[in-house]
């Protein structure tokens, strides 16, 4: 049996073995397990039950990892995407006053479209039509948005009437908990310690428990929380996706997931040395894995799923086959029994993780051609638009509307694809709808 599994995952061809793959899977899981606690905190503000979101995230992540590992045979882990979950909670539910059940229905519709586009290979066409500079700006903009949420939730940034925002009070104990967690994580990340984000969260919890800023739960292990409140809610509210505003929300779910997962898959494949002749073997299966997982996640009760950049940690220690992803999936199933930790994973504990992930995503800025103003202007509007409007979709809209105009002014209008012109029109209507809402 062991030899058959090794042969199925091409251990010999990839120069790997069970030990390397297991350690890679463990490393990847440790690096990304924070999502089990961050996602419920983010989606919890929308009114969703945190316990249900915890279980939905664990089960959907395990499913995604198994499909990615067994079908696509890649060492890429899948879980709830940071950034798009913030769009779900803060922009759609809180900002647009859309019930979370309807928002889940929007994720479900977007995921079905995602699967259709993937099946007909239209996904690559749409992604290719969007300039790489704007894709990089979207990734970095989401990073800034995530970091801004972390800074605010952690108490480091507060609202101010005279200056709009200001530095939070350093006389508040919980704010210092955020500071300690952030500094510890920065040191660990700088020292290239595997699982730095997770370790930073653990240190933060210990400091909080010792100082009394966090209260210990009655138990550390408990039965898996029920998902009865979220399971299938998306199907029951699909009929409410009947306005242009919600149509644009679905489009945003679709587009943002495009940029996030596709870029991540390409980057991880490059790191693992799996790219051959500028192409990724079995890329169709990998794309199908994340789109299928997005459907399952919406039905279970969580925001869009996608490939996780933290998979790079497992690849760095030798993970090369799909067995790495399978190991991660098994750990996600085991992790579902630790829901009581939700009571000690406060916003001050997860805030440093959001800030650090934002920092990692901001690295995309180096790939933007800032010397060309017709590119720099729309990219910059996307970048600053997301955190300053507190909306990922608004930031995308500002950049996508500006891009065709700046390119035409620079006498480069012929370089803009018809799809980009179409998206510009869509987002003009989108902003008009928001003003009317």
Element housing 79 (H / E): strand 78-80
Instruction: Report d(CA 58, CA 337) in Å as an integer.
Output: 10
Q: What is the pLDDT of residue 329?
A: 96
* Rg of the chain, C-alpha, whole Å: 21
Residue 123 pLDDT: 66
The rounded distance, in Å, linking the Cα atoms of 167 and 171 is 12
**Predicted structure pTM score:** 0.74
| pLDDT value of residue 55 | 94
Structure tokens at 325: 């992803």
Distance CA 144, CA 384 (A): 8
pLDDT of 279 reads: 67
Distance, in Å, from the CA atom of 19 to the CA atom of 362, rounded to the nearest integer, reads 34
Q: DSSP for 2-40, please give it.
A: HHHHHHHTTHHHHT--HHHHHHHHHHHHHHHTTHHHHHH
Residue with the two structure tokens 């933060």: 204
Of 99, 111, 90, 112, nearest to 43 by C-alpha is 90
* Domain spans, the chain: 2-223+249-351
Residue with tokens 């749409």: 126
**Alpha carbons 37 and 115: distance in angstroms, whole number:** 28
pLDDT (tens digit, 0 to 9) for every residue of the chain, 437 residues total?
Answer: 778 888 898 888 888 898 889 988 888 888 788 899 889 989 999 999 999 999 999 999 999 999 999 999 999 999 998 778 988 998 889 988 899 999 999 999 999 988 888 888 776 676 667 788 888 888 788 788 888 988 998 999 998 888 889 998 888 888 999 999 999 999 998 998 877 887 888 899 899 999 999 888 877 778 888 999 999 999 989 988 888 778 888 887 887 777 667 767 776 777 777 777 666 788 788 888 988 999 999 999 999 998 887 787 788 778 889 999 999 999 999 988 887 776 777 778 888 888 887 888 788 898 899 999 999 999 999 999 988 988 777 888 899 999 999 999 999 999 999 989 988 987 887 677 555 54
8 A C-beta contact, residue 142 and residue 386: yes
Which two three-digit tokens encode residue 256? 């943002």
Report the alpha-carbon distance of residue 227 to residue 233 in Å, rounded: 10
Q: In the prediction, which pLDDT does 126 show?
A: 66
> Under DSSP, is residue 307 helix (H, G, I), strand (E, B) or coil?
strand
Instruction: Determine the pLDDT at residue 433.
Output: 58
Name residue 160's beta-bridge partners: 164
pLDDT at 372: 96
- Nearest to 294, CA basis, from 32, 56, 89, 50: 56
């Amino acid at each position: 049996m062991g030899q058959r599994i090794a042969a199925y995952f091409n251990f010999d061809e990839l120069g790997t073995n069970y030990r390397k793959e297991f350690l890679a899977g463990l490393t990847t899981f440790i690096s990304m397990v924070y999502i089990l606690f961050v996602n419920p905190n983010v989606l919890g503000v929308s009114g969703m039950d945190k316990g249900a979101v915890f279980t939905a995230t664990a089960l959907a992540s395990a499913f995604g990892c198994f499909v990615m590992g067994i079908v696509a045979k890649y060492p890429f882990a899948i879980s709830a995407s940071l950034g798009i979950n913030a769009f779900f909670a803060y922009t759609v539910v809180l900002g647009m006053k859309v019930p979370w059940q309807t928002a889940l229905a929007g994720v479900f519709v977007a995921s079905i479209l995602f699967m259709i586009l993937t099946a007909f290979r239209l996904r690559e066409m749409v992604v290719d039509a969007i300039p790489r500079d704007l894709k990089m700006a979207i990734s970095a903009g989401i990073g800034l948005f995530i970091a801004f949420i972390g800074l605010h939730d952690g108490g480091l940034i507060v609202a101010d009437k005279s200056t709009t925002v200001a530095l939070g009070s350093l006389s508040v104990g919980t704010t210092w908990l955020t500071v300690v967690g952030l500094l510890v994580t920065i040191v660990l990340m700088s020292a290239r310690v595997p699982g730095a984000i997770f370790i930073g969260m653990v240190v933060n919890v210990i400091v909080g428990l010792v100082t009394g800023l966090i209260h210990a739960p009655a138990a550390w292990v408990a039965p898996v929380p029920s998902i009865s409140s979220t399971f299938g809610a998306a199907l029951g509210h699909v009929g409410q996706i009947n306005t242009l505003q919600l149509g644009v929300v679905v489009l945003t779910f679709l587009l943002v997931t495009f940029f996030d997962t596709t870029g991540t898959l390409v980057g991880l494949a490059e790191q693992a040395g799996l790219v051959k002749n500028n192409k990724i073997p079995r890329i169709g299966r990998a794309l199908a894995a994340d789109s299928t997982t997005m459907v399952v996640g919406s039905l279970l009760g969580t925001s869009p799923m996608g490939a996780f950049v933290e998979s790079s940690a497992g690849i760095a220690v030798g993970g090369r086959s799909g067995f790495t992803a399978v190991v991660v999936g098994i750990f996600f199933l085991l992790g579902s029994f630790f829901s009581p930790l939700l009571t000690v994973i406060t916003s001050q504990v997860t805030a440093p993780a959001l800030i650090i992930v934002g920092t990692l995503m901001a690295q995309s800025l180096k790939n933007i051609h800032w010397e060309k103003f017709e590119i720099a202007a729309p990219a910059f509007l996307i970048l600053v638009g997301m955190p300053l409007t507190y909306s990922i979709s608004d930031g995308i809209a500002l950049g996508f509307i500006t891009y065709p105009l700046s390119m035409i002014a620079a006498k480069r209008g012929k370089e803009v694809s018809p799809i980009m012109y179409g998206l510009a029109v869509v987002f003009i209507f989108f902003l008009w709808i928001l003003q009317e809402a």
